[in-house]
Amino acid sequence: MRFCTAINCIDGRAQLPVINYLQIRFDVEFVDTITEPGPNLILGEQTNGVLVQSILDRLKISVEKHHSVGIAIVGHQDCAGNPASEEKQLQHIKNAMSFLGQHYDNVEIIGLWVDDAWNVNELM
């Protein structure tokens, strides 16, 4: 069994597109999901230490127990938890990727943007 991890918004509209994308992207059967409203904002700015630590604690289980082969941090249009512009949310994703890389330099970390048609776009 192979796993990867999605740190995604609680918004149900973003769940299946991201899971389907990640199963192909990382060639895995299972996607562990860590959900919060606006996780790209939470990890991108790290102003709420309790939420940041909660995400890291759950991520640790996925990486250490399920041997996650990749981590995706996700943002999406029309996000109630992060109502910032697309440009600002993309910056949050990049900042979150950098932050997560400080904790997991041995696991591939990618950023995903889910657009207004619910298509998943990987940040390059």
| Domain containing residue 92: CATH number | 3.40.1050.10
What's the mean pLDDT in 103-110? 97
Q: What would the pLDDT profile of 12-40 be if each residue is shown by its tens digit?
A: 999 999 999 999 999 999 999 999 999 99
The confidence band for 122, taking pLDDT boundaries of 50, 70 and 90, is very high
Rounded to an integer, what distance in angstroms lies between the CA atom of residue 78 and that of residue 99? 24
- In the chain, the number of structural domains is 1
Q: What would the pLDDT profile of 36-58 be if each residue is shown by its tens digit?
A: 999 999 999 999 999 999 999 99
- pLDDT for the residue 21: 98
pTM of the predicted model as reported, rounded to 2 decimal places: 0.97
Rounded to an integer, what distance in angstroms lies between the CA atom of residue 25 and that of residue 21? 6
Phi-psi category of residue 74: left, alpha or beta, with phi > 0 → left and psi -120 to 50 → alpha: beta
- Range of 81's domain? 3-122
For residue 41, the Cα-to-chain-centroid distance in whole angstroms is 11
